[in-house]
Amino acid sequence: MLSDSERDRYARHLILPELGERGQLALKRGSVLIIGAGGLGSPAAMYLAAAGVGRIGLVDFDVVDASNLHRQLLYGSSDVGRPKLEAARERLLDINGEIAIELHPFALMSDNALELFAKYDVVIDGTDNFPTRYLVSDACTLAGKPNVYGSIFRFEGQVSVFDDTRGPCYRCLYPTPPPPALVPNCAEAGVLGVLPGIIGSLQANEAIKLIAGIGEPLIGRLLLFDALALRFREVRVTKQRHEPVTHLIDYEGFCNPMDINVKELAERIGRGDSLTLLDVREPHEWNAGHLDNALHIPMQQVPARVEEVPRDAEIIVYCRMGGRSARVQQFLQEQGFANVRNLAGGMLAWQRDVDPTMKVV
Amino acid sequence: MALNFVISGPLRELAGNRGEVRIDRSASSLAEALPLLWAECPAFRDRVVTELGELRPHLNIFVDGENIRFLDGFSTAVRDGSEIVILPALSGG
């Protein structure tokens, strides 16, 4: 039953014959897990909260940065420096205090995804990297949950609903991840602030339809949006044979086979293995904090200073998040360096998983 | 006669940051159409096909909304006005 205050709040929903009280009650009993409380997660969470989805879970471990504010409307200027999920809960409960907000302030991993997904009806993929996108897809397949997918780049967005129980999954569309060196660094690529607002709202639309059981879900169709041309296109997505999904795997290794993760690097440094650590960040980033005994050559200077990099050594390239270092890794490989690995997640992952005292700017 | 190539994601940089490349020529198949794009945007070819001339596995090409992997691959027919979408995965969120 809906309370009197809920009838007031959802009055414009209740008079829609397609939705009505039946649909609103379905939303109230429904639950959505949003992976990533960033550009896509912000509008998705806000619209789902306003629509009366009874339980919304958020997965994110980041803090609010000033550079988030041009697109992540869950947060305001006074939230900079706060954990995103704390600020998000306040904002969402201010929009609608009659729902439950559940916080999962950790990284989605292969060892926690299935247990988490089991508790929700629908999953929204609002992540910002390929390993987590494949993880979300596989976990949805194994858990039998619909994956409301959205992704963005500069002025473009893609939206679909992947549901292995009745249509294709993400792997049917993209069985193979792109080579890491072709994945642009998120900070360098840039994004139009309003774009995730559009794509994340479409994801909320699909989640609401799935829960309420109305309309035609975006299954088997990929919607492409171009903000500059202001054009929507649709292409067909067909169920395709691919590696069967039987369990969750190491997604960093799947997407970045020449990566090394921070824990493995810490172990190898601890063992005294012979490694050349190459820091390719800018001087102000290096000065804030860096790994002991690292060689420092900012990315742009690497071509001119390549002779400083020892050719016979095992080289571990790192930057803040792993994007610039992937490019340098590719460059060095093209120059004939045989053993170059990229530190997955960069110094932010090092700070999170190895050394919380490491200062990263 | 014209073909309209829709360029997506990081591939746009190879087309002078254009989202669409219209080529006023005709072709009967994708295999005939793609070299017209390579001629217009030379850097494109190596990013789209392998040394063996196969479509790179992380990309999809759609002709008029249909994935060529489920049609006839590069032999897929194109017609006047066909829209050819070259689509990489996007990761941003």
CATH of the domain at A180: 3.40.50.720
Q: CATH number of the domain that A309 lies in?
A: 3.40.250.10
A247 belongs to a structural domain: no
d(CA A16, CA A86): 34
d(CA A218, CA A208): 12
Encoded amino acid at A285, one letter: E
A245 belongs to a structural domain: no
Do residue A151 and residue B88 have CB atoms under 8 angstroms apart? no
d(CA B74, CA B32): 9
Check CB contact of B44 with chain A, cutoff 8 Å: no
CB-nearest to A40 from B8, B12, B93 is: B93
How many other CB atoms are there within 10 angstroms of residue A357's CB atom? Answer: 6
Query: How far does the CA of residue A186 sit from the closest CA of chain B (Å)?
Result: 7
A107 belongs to a structural domain: yes
Q: A202 with A334, same domain?
A: no
d(CA A39, CA A263): 29
Q: A326 with A206, same domain?
A: no
pLDDT in tens, B22-42: 999 999 999 999 999 999 999
d(CA A150, CA A40): 7
Q: A202 with A68, same domain?
A: yes
d(CA A109, CA A146): 18
pLDDT in tens, A42-92: 999 999 999 999 999 999 999 999 999 999 999 999 999 999 999 999 999
ipTM above 0.85, yes or no: yes
pLDDT score for A185: 58
B93 belongs to a structural domain: no
| Per-residue model confidence as pLDDT tens for chain B (93 residues) | 799 999 999 999 999 999 999 999 999 999 999 999 999 999 889 899 987 889 998 999 999 999 999 999 999 999 999 999 999 999 999
Q: A21 with A129, same domain?
A: yes
Q: Backbone phi, then psi, for A22, in 5-degree steps? A: -60, -50
Q: A70 with A218, same domain?
A: yes
In chain B, the number of structural domains is: 1
By residue range, what is the domain housing residue A70? Answer: 4-236
- Mutate which of A84, A152, A153, A226 to disrupt the B interface (most B C-beta within 10 Å)? A153
Query: Which residues make Cβ contacts (< 8 Å) with residue B91, sequence separation at least 6?
Result: A127, A128, A129, A130, A133, A151, A153, A183
pLDDT score for A281: 97
d(CA A201, CA A67): 21
Query: Contact at 8 Å (CB) between A125 and A147?
Result: yes
Q: CATH number of the domain that B40 lies in?
A: 3.10.20.30
Q: A24 with A105, same domain?
A: yes
Q: A227 with A268, same domain?
A: no
Do residue A182 and residue B9 have CB atoms under 8 angstroms apart? no
List the single residue in B with minimal CA-CA distance to A182: B10
As to burial, measured by CB atoms within 10 angstroms (0-12 exposed, 13-18 middle, 19+ buried), residue A53 is buried
B53 belongs to a structural domain: yes
pLDDT in tens, A157-207: 999 999 999 999 999 999 989 987 677 655 668 999 999 999 999 999 999
Mean pLDDT of chain A: 95
Query: How far does the CA of residue A189 sit from the closest CA of chain B (Å)?
Result: 9
d(CA A113, CA A139): 6
By residue range, what is the domain housing residue B50? Answer: 3-88
pLDDT in tens, A292-334: 999 999 999 999 999 999 988 899 999 999 889 989 998 998 8
